[in-house]
Structure 1
């Protein structure tokens, strides 16, 4: 009976996983029919690229515990390899279909992942992080030296419309590029997920959690980190290749520290402890970059504040917060959290409104040519040179924070009650 129940549970788990991936693929197919504008399709294409990039970074940080500050190296090099390959196809040097061009980027990322990984993965922890930071700075500074490959300050560009394709598409229209990116996103994400279920994935988790114990029982921790690092470079190169196909240009900034910091933000904010966490982070950060950059000059400050907030109050990321609610849901206690969460909505909106007001007024006061000109803030005309708007914004922010602090105490109490309720049946068993 026990074996039958275990096999039934395993089959149920497999079916759930298949359903999740089918739904993921269906969402990718349907989205352009819901958001039909050119800007929306372009933004969703970028989301697909950065989903792969963030998942490849999670292979390092989330799966193997390797904090890298230079992961954009493999993303950017993959993009440069792809553009050179496209140019070679257009020049008739060799024939390779555009649909498979991301594999060229993956090969470039894998090659340099092997080269740099053989050096950096010999160490772990802070030393590894500093080595990757040095490698990232080295490659970024080398971009202006090796102009034949990197193109100097202007970068490398190519026309993605070639005559060599597997399908009867030119890939000139953005919608065709979107579906190419979407297909690669689903396929590569599935491969990375399957890697987490392999012995390599399990060993990487062991090296992340307790490297001394993993080494004691006979695992080669350095080799595990190296293989994981190289494969991560491969998938980052695929993402870079898709980025190059989409934008048809790569510059030194694509291998730089800002790009590496961006993928770190995506992965951490989304959640490094859960596979789908980087997907959430990539979608959120890409949307914020697109939406906030047109809304506010201080959009980078909002990123920084969001990152600080997540580090302080939700270190497991958005996905970690979601997963934490699974236990109360299974125990039938989730409904007890809804009232206190609803109670936090108004204070949270007040605090957010006050914070946004202070930031936007501060930027306008310091950067505007004529600060006395009013700005539009929450559908109101506000003159930032007057004292009253500042007083109102600070008071709203202070009231919101104070009420949030009080509500957070109620939320903690409710969580403690739920944890006690769910622990009693386990203790009785």
Structure 2
């Protein structure tokens, strides 16, 4: 073996790094799924976990496009929505005892969502994947607007503004689940989430999964070795749409209703943020992003009406300063803590955390004070009994000093890193 070949092999991650970044997070995730029912969760916890499960599958499906295939889509909710709508139609046919559907278990509706999402993606992808980059992104945006608008026109298919509703407690039972109680739906969600994660991970290890990454990086070289980049993009697009449809089927069973909003740009943008914030270069990145953003969207609104602003700021900061997302931060910290110079790394890490916390304090005071001032109701921000209004000097001290001190600490750490590299 030549020295060049050996050096190229050393560039790739070690077997230990592969286990930490790929296998271990999935095993931890499955262990958490099995442990949650043992804590006797409330209905609120069940609702939140179910939404996380749907978003995890949807985000992973989207990352098959963005992270592995390099295709930025602004309309992936189309396949999520079409899969969900089809499952609700089947759910109603099951309730009516219509033909072959009378004995079809509701538990397996995500399979039909998978087929519906995959078929629609195959049709749309047959022309949209002929282009890459910005052109592909614009086509996906146009298709999303087209189908979302059509959902309000074809009432028999989409139910108009009110959408289509159904009843999941029909048809034969599977695994003894009546599909009524929240605990039954939990195991339904757990089953399909784990199956989807395993299937999508297996897809990334197939030759097609490898080719999608090669097409993302260098389509000319893929064509040179005898493969058609357009066909590779189309196949990956179809698979991604199929898993998005599966997530739509899970959502149909969970909520028992689908409206045209599920086809709109809002869920398409949200899944993009989930995947990117989590980290599109890691398989587990979208899982982390889906969990975090689902929690933020469900819980932060109870504490502040500016939660969407915080979400947007977090997305901008991730894009600018941590392009590898939350997963990149987590694995980077782990590598630093287990590295040879961990003493210096821990010191810098603590300074960075202190700087970020200080800047966060100043930012929160600024945003919450501004929100209350802009509402015009005379309200002020009162954390820990402090009266922080626009005319209070303490308010501006708590904004300027923490932000300035935090920025100084972060600049100091960056300067030390630059000096160490030099």
Q: Do 1:277 and 1:318's aligned partners in 2 also have CA atoms closer than 8 Å? A: yes
Deviation, structure 1 residue 382? 2.6
Q: Do 1:337 and 1:411's aligned partners in 2 also have CA atoms closer than 8 Å? A: no
Aligned counterparts of 1:103 and 1:351: Cα–Cα separation in 2: 47
Summarize the alignment of residues 250-261 of structure 1 with structure 2, pairs less than 5 Å apart: 250-261=258-269
CA RMSD of aligned residues (A): 2.3
- Give the match for residue 120 of structure 1: 128
Aligned counterparts of 2:269 and 2:20: Cα–Cα separation in 1: 37
C-alpha deviations, 1:204-262, integer Å up to 9, x for none? Answer: 01001111111122111000000000000010001111111111111111111010000
Alignment partner of 2:168 out of 160, 170, 188: 160
In the alignment, is residue 246 of structure 1 matched against residue 254 of structure 2? yes
Summarize the alignment of residues 361-380 of structure 1 with structure 2, pairs less than 5 Å apart: 361-368=369-376, 370-371=377-378, 373-377=379-383, 379-380=384-385
In the alignment, is residue 382 of structure 1 matched against residue 387 of structure 2? yes
Q: 1:398 to 1:25 in 2, by over 3 A?
A: closer
Alignment partner of 1:64 out of 57, 61, 69: 69
- Give the match for residue 129 of structure 1: 137
**Greater Cα offset, 54-63 or 99-108:** 99-108
Deviation, structure 1 residue 15? 11
- Give the match for residue 80 of structure 1: 85
Aligned counterparts of 2:416 and 2:325: Cα–Cα separation in 1: 18
Q: 1:415 to 1:24 in 2, by over 3 A?
A: farther
Deviation, structure 1 residue 364? 1.2
Aligned counterparts of 1:127 and 1:318: Cα–Cα separation in 2: 29
Count of paired positions: 406
SS of aligned partner of 2:340? coil
In the alignment, is residue 227 of structure 1 matched against residue 235 of structure 2? yes
- Give the match for residue 318 of structure 1: 326
Aligned counterparts of 1:226 and 1:315: Cα–Cα separation in 2: 27
Alignment partner of 1:145 out of 130, 142, 153: 153
Q: 1:389 to 1:76 in 2, by over 3 A?
A: farther
Structure 1 stretches lacking a partner, 5+ long: 1-8, 418-429
Summarize the alignment of residues 225-374 of structure 1 with structure 2, pairs less than 5 Å apart: 225-325=233-333, 328=336, 331-368=339-376, 370-371=377-378, 373-374=379-380
C-alpha deviations, 1:119-178, integer Å up to 9, x for none? Answer: 110000000000001111111111100111111111111111114222222221112111
SS of aligned partner of 1:46? helix
Q: TM-score, normalised by structure 2?
A: 0.90
C-alpha deviations, 1:281-327, integer Å up to 9, x for none? Answer: 00010011111111111111111100110111011111123334565
Q: TM-score, normalised by structure 1?
A: 0.89
Q: Do 1:340 and 1:407's aligned partners in 2 also have CA atoms closer than 8 Å? A: no
Aligned counterparts of 1:40 and 1:131: Cα–Cα separation in 2: 38
C-alpha deviations, 1:182-223, integer Å up to 9, x for none? Answer: 111111110000011100011001001111111122111000
Deviation, structure 1 residue 20? 5.2
Aligned counterparts of 1:120 and 1:195: Cα–Cα separation in 2: 22
